[in-house]
Amino acid sequence: MTQTLILLFHPDYRCSRANKALAEAASSQPGTTVVDMQALYPDGRIDGDVEVARLLAAERIVLQFPVQWYSTPPLLKAWQDAVLTRMFYIHYAAEGAKLAGRPILIAATAGNVPEAYTPSGANLFSLRDLLKPLQATAHRCALAWQEPFLVYDVRRADAEALEATAGHYVARLAQLETRQAA
């Protein structure tokens, strides 16, 4: 069984710095698998059989992506529509019910600074608030919502800062594993 499954949704991974740093650090950890969903599904046509099996084989699920227009990249929404609709609305007993209780962690990178995500800032709402549709989805699917791993101001982060952030990410993933085992 894949212990920690990281589904990476990045529309342009070749140009990524932040998500690449996170994904590369995570993938070097034992029991952690990173799947580049955009590379697998460049046309957005998701293979439901493959992705349902992938989720069912995971002990912990991480959705990793860059924030785009206060939301997720479009492929993540396509994944919800294709995979979660099937598991939770069509084949609930055979598929969706089997995921109950599994932890889900959102790992998101943002170009803007934390102060922008405040009532007096440019983005008005906190990133946590903007991610609430994903929290509602997790709740609907009986997944165990975890405090999101959020990284701000990533475009200005130098290599050293990205390396430090990647280290925090690895530590957070390890903590997720420990908490579940406890």
Ligand X SMILES: Cc1cc2nc3c(=O)[nH]c(=O)nc-3n(C[C@H](O)[C@H](O)[C@H](O)COP(=O)(O)O)c2cc1C
Among positions 66, 103, 149, 169, the unique one binding ligand X when judged by CB under 6 A: 66
82 binds ligand X (CB under 6 A): no
Q: Which residues pair with 32 in a beta bridge?
A: 4
110 binds ligand X (CB under 6 A): yes
99 binds ligand X (CB under 6 A): no
| Terminal Cα-to-Cα distance of the chain (whole angstroms) | 19
Residue 150 Cβ vs ligand X, minimum distance, rounded to whole Å = 10
Q: What distance in Å separates the CA atoms of residue 11 and residue 16, rounded to the nearest whole number?
A: 9
69 binds ligand X (CB under 6 A): yes
Question: Please, where are the H alpha helices in the chain?
Answer: 18-27, 37-40, 48-56, 74-79, 85, 127-130, 132-140, 159-181
The footprint of ligand X on residues 118-177 (CB under 6 A) is: 154-155
- Whose CB is nearest to ligand X? 111
23 binds ligand X (CB under 6 A): no
Angle, to 10 degrees, between the axis of helix 159-181 and the axis of helix 18-27?
40
Q: Which stretches of the chain bind ligand X, using CB under 6 A? A: 10, 16-19, 66-70, 109-112, 154-155
